[in-house]
Amino acid sequence: MNYLASPSRYTQMQYRRCGNSGLKLPAISLGLWHNFGHVDQLSNSRDILHLAFDSGITHFDLANNYGPPPGSAEENFGKILNQDFKSYRDEMIISSKAGYTMWDGPYGDWGSKKYLVSSLDQSLKRMNLDYVDIFYHHRPDPDTPLEETMAALDLIVRQGKALYAGISNYPVEQAKKAFQILKEMGTPCLIHQPKYSMYERWIEDGLIDLLGDEGVGCIPFSPLAQGLLTNKYLHGIPEDSRAAKSHGALQQEQISPETVVQLHGLNSLAQERGQSLAQMALSWILKDQRITSVLVGASKPSQLADSLKCLNKLDFSTSELQQIEDILAG
């Protein structure tokens, strides 16, 4: 059966301008870091993408190494895109990245021009696309001159393989230099993708101010602290959770008795606000207008549907914000 997008999709979503650019992004974007690899069920991945687009999510965020195995998220996304979303391509913002290990040898990692250009060529083949909308350098490279990495992003945009350039995981000083280099080249940085949540606050030490001053968008990832800011860990560690897997991004020692007390406090406040803990955690990030969009993941459509409800209540009173700080400090 052919997929037809919901005619009301654009009435359900809020869109925010990305820094000083002409581009608007949905307040909620879908990240394909997990749940879209060859190890996952393709029909479930498809259902998540359908719900996302039907809900007004136009931005889909990938990277070369997403899977597992690496590359498979882009392959699966490309397959579903080709079958279901071909006629909607111009309504979609598709991003990819390179910067972490993708293939063996000296040219499959970090930030050389060789790696970034080759990696994007591979990503475009996997997704069967002529271009991506945003291409990011995924992390700073201590050994490659910043000028070379930024020149690679500039080249990629000039070649038409990406419409916009972005950076991810860059600390404030390096971000500042990167913005300056790109501006001088005539390809301004569109957006920065940092890790940010109630438990991960480093961008508050200057980066979010810099983004606001420079007119660069901000799209945080891991807003739920790898699932910590959900109701999943209120009563111990479930067997099927990320924390239960020793190789997961969330470690068991992060869920200390003190953390569980904090989560209960946050959950109570969320309930008073008429939200789930996850919804409040997302609203808390989106309360700042310098945040363009927040990246959410989903293992099933119902999880995404729950996250989307955060848009119903983005405002916080001064006392609610203070309560959150007091709980986290406790």
pLDDT above 70 for 246? no
Q: State the pLDDT at residue 232.
A: 86
Identify the helix (H) or strand (E) that includes residue 321.
helix 318-329
Return the percentage of the chain with pLDDT > 70, whole number. Answer: 95
Examine the pLDDT at 242 and tell me if it is beyond 70: no
Cis ω for the linkage preceding 220 (within 30 of 0): no
pLDDT digits (tens, 9 = 90+) for 123-156: 999 999 999 999 999 999 999 999 999 999 999 9
Q: Is the pLDDT of residue 1 over 80?
A: no
pLDDT of residue 253: 67
Residue 48 has pLDDT above 90, yes or no: yes
pLDDT at residue 257, rounded to an integer = 86
pLDDT of residue 244: 61
DSSP calls for 211-230:
HHHHT-EE--B-TTTTTTTS
- φ, ψ of residue 93 to 5 degrees: the values are -110, 115
Q: CB-side exposure of 86: number of CA atoms within 13 Å?
A: 6
pLDDT at position 24 over 60:
yes
Domains of the chain, first to last:
9-227+288-313 (3.20.20.100)
Please give the residue that has the higher pLDDT: either 321 or 234. 321
Task: For the chain, give the percent of residues with pLDDT over 90.
Answer: 89
Q: Name the nearest CA neighbour of 73 among 109, 48, 53.
A: 48
Confidence of residue 248 (pLDDT cuts 50, 70, 90): low
Read off the tokens for 172: 């404030």
Give whole-number Cα distances, 51 to 6, 38, 100, 281, 305, in Å: 9, 20, 30, 21, 8
- pLDDT, residue 237, reads 72
Average per-residue pLDDT in the chain? 95
At residue 286, φ and ψ (nearest 5 deg) are -75, -10
Q: What integer is the mean pLDDT of 254-278?
A: 93
103: confidence class by pLDDT, cuts 50, 70, 90: very high
User: Mean pLDDT, to the nearest integer, of 230-256?
Assistant: 71
What number is the average pLDDT over the span 53-67? Answer: 98
pTM, 2 dp: 0.95
Asked if residue 216 has pLDDT above 70, the reply is: yes
CA 262 to CA 32: how far, in whole Å? 29
